Amino acid sequence: MPERRALFVDLDGTVRNTKSGHVHPLKPWDQEIRPGVQERLAQFRAAGYAVVGVTNQGGVAFGFLSEVDVRAINRRLEQVLLPDVFDLILYCPFHPGGRIKAYRRESECRKPRPGMAFEARERLGIELSRSIMVGDMDVDEGFAANAGIPTFYWEHRFFAEDFDADALLSG
């Protein structure tokens, strides 16, 4: 089977915003999809890209939410807000400054490290050198570089109405 291209997307601040104004959603209902996201992700999925969400969830390490909460939040994103869009959503609960000892550490899965990209490659047969990353923070750009993903877009450009996705998909 030929290796697939993937569209990696950060979640918080890229795909979704919170309704509460917090940086990260703390409950499944506390999220809304940003304008243009659903259409653009569906466009890439229809073109054969695997769509992979990658998100640091350091709030687990600080005790703001649990891994059960993170999974419930992401499940609502996958099943209700953006059904049939994601092939995989990965998260990293670790943070070196966290208050919860079990989660207070560096991790290869924490962006900008490339662990989540490598996991997606193994699970979905992704060719990272033909993939794209979209994000809203420097750690997202660093993640792409560290994973060998050559193409990075800032979210405000990638999801803009005038972004020429067709040119990117045909290139």
- Tell me: the pLDDT tens digits for 105-155? 999 999 999 999 999 999 999 999 999 999 999 999 999 999 999 999 999
Nearest one of 140, 15, 22 to 85, comparing CA atoms: 15
Going edge to edge, which strands form the sheet with 6-10? 88-92, 50-56, 6-10, 132-135, 151-154
- Tell me: the pLDDT tens digits for 22-55? 888 999 999 999 999 999 999 999 999 999 999 9
- Which of 10, 87, 136, 140 is catalytic? The answer is 10
Report residue 2's pLDDT band, with 50, 70 and 90 as the boundaries.
low
Structure tokens at 20: 């509460």
Kindly tell me the burial class for residue 99, based on how many C-beta atoms sit within 10 Å of its own C-beta (0-12, 13-18, 19 or more): exposed
Q: Is the pLDDT of residue 170 over 90?
A: no
Q: Is 12 in the active site? A: yes
Classify domain 6-136+146-163 at the CATH class level. Answer: alpha beta
Q: Is 10 in the active site? A: yes
